[in-house]
Copies of this chain bind each other. A is one copy, B any other.
Amino acid sequence: MSIEFDFDSAMFVLVVGNTKTAEIAGITVAGASEELIKYTPPADAELLYHGRCLSIDSIPATPDGKPTPALISYTALRLTKIPLLVIDSGLMVKPKIPYVTLSAPVGENIAKERAMRKEDVEKVIENGKILGEELSKIVDTIIIGESIPAGTTTAGAVLKALGFEPKVSSSMPNNPVELKTKVINEAVKRVRSKDPIEIISAVGDPVIAGIYGILSGCKKALLAGGTQMVAVANLAKSLGCEFAIATTEFVANDKTADLSLAPCEVFVAKIPLANSRYPGLRAYAEGFVKEGVGAGGMSFVAYQKGIKEDEFLKEIERDYEKIVLGV
């Protein structure tokens, strides 16, 4: 590693929020139904602390029952004993756990209008910066994960606004690339400059704003995610914070995603879910869900802390049995 991470002095911050971009029919499956999509971020956060969700009856899943990647992060947090802080950056529904708020608005639907007011983005970034500064005083590395349905679409728009031809990953094996591209192309017409704050305000989402803010204040970070973190990394590359990205092999193997746009080192964590006895977990290896809630980054950290792949799979299955199957 070119950056020296000390994962014995690390904290995992999960930045959660919503964008109304998720209301576009067919753009995301990060929820069992349209109504449930908005509950996915708070429910993911609750799952990490409690091993169950408090705001909804079951755990977040796709309409056909593929479980949230929060499961994998839950196992990694349990094994590594890394502390967790949940950050509300634009949630529609607040989680029933302690959480830090950055006083962010919910993001608007970028297919229709600008995502957020510039002054709100500036406020969120300032709040994130303060938090990043304070946390950097006690830990070497801040591991940052996200949960925001339709976040790959806003991330794609950010990359496009920065001048890239983005490929973005998806929670579906048949990524609705055409729909996303149409939304992205319309949205970027509203971008007036390549200034990060302008881009986030025009086509981003509150979670991107919050993570950008935290990176403004902190010294060293591991961005735990796929396409969304590639977008954040490109916005944040001049901030002075050292960072790398860590994601799952499922994103890395996704032909519709393009991690090569990352301006930093990218670590890819193998997670042998293909070998699982449970179809819900094998689905990841078949292209469903793929990443989110810092699953790839926290898996990478678990391996760095000496956990072996086979052992990790067993522990994920143990939690799957407890949390999903209730046995």
Most buried by B among A81, A85, A102, A123: A85
Q: Is A49 an interface residue (CB 8 A)?
A: yes
Q: Beyond A49-B130, A130-B49, is A138–B99 a contact (Cβ under 8 Å)?
A: no
How far, in angstroms, from A199 to B72 measured CA to CA in the complex?
Answer: 41
A115-138 vs B, CB cutoff 8 Å, 1 = contact: the mask equals 000000001000110110011011
> Quick check: is A56 within 8 A (CB to CB) of the other chain?
no
* Stretch in A57-65, A90-98, A181-189 with 4+ CB within 8 Å of B: A90-98
User: A83 on the interface (CB 8 Å rule)?
Assistant: yes
Question: How many residues of A are in contact with the other chain, CB < 8 A?
Answer: 27
Residues of B within 8 A of A99 (CB): 100-101
Report which of B49, B84, B131, B137 forms a contact with A98, defined as CB distance below 8 A. Answer: B131
| A259-287 at interface with B (beta carbon < 8 Å) | none
Asked whether A137 lies within 8 Å of B81 as measured between CB atoms, the reply is yes
Q: Once the chains bind, are B85 and A134 in contact (CB under 8 Å)?
A: yes
- CA–CA, A2 and B101, complex, Å: 37
Task: Point out the residues of chain B lying under 8 angstroms from A137, CB to CB.
Answer: 81-83
Q: Which residue of B11, B94, B100, B127 is within 8 Å of A100 (Cβ)?
A: B100
Does A139 belong to the interface (CB within 8 Å)?
yes
A9 to B123, alpha carbons, bound, how many Å? 30
A49 to B137, CA, bound (A): 14
Q: Contacts of A94 on B, CB cut-off 8 Å? A: 101, 103
**Contact A134 B100, beta carbon cutoff 8 Å:** no
Report the bound CA distance from A98 to B210 in whole Å: 11
Q: Are the C-beta atoms of B101 and A134 separated by less than 8 Å?
A: no
Check A83–B135 contact: CB distance below 8 A.
Answer: yes
Q: Look across to chain B and name the residue whose beta carbon is closest to the beta carbon of A128.
A: B98
Residues of chain B lying within 8 A (CB to CB) of residue A49:
130
Hey, which chain B residues are within 8 Å of A101, CB to CB?
94, 98-101
Partner of A138, one of B11, B96, B123, B127: B11
- Interchain CA distance A23-B258 in the complex, whole Å: 59
Question: Which chain B residue shows the least CB distance to A100?
Answer: B100
Shortest Cβ gap from A52 to chain B (Å):
14
User: Beyond A98-B101, A100-B99, A101-B99, is A83–B138 a contact (Cβ under 8 Å)?
Assistant: yes
Distance from A136 Cβ to chain B, minimum over Cβ atoms (Å): 8
Give chain B residues whose Cβ lies under 8 Å from the Cβ of A131.
98
- Which residues of B are found within 8 Å of A84, using beta-carbon distances? 134
Nearest-Cβ distance from residue A51 to partner chain B, whole angstroms = 12
The interface residues of chain B lying within 8 Å CB-to-CB of A11 are 138
How far in angstroms is the closest Cβ of chain B from A298? 15
A102 to B94, CA, bound (A): 11
Q: How far is the CA of A128 from the CA of B96 in the complex (A)?
A: 12
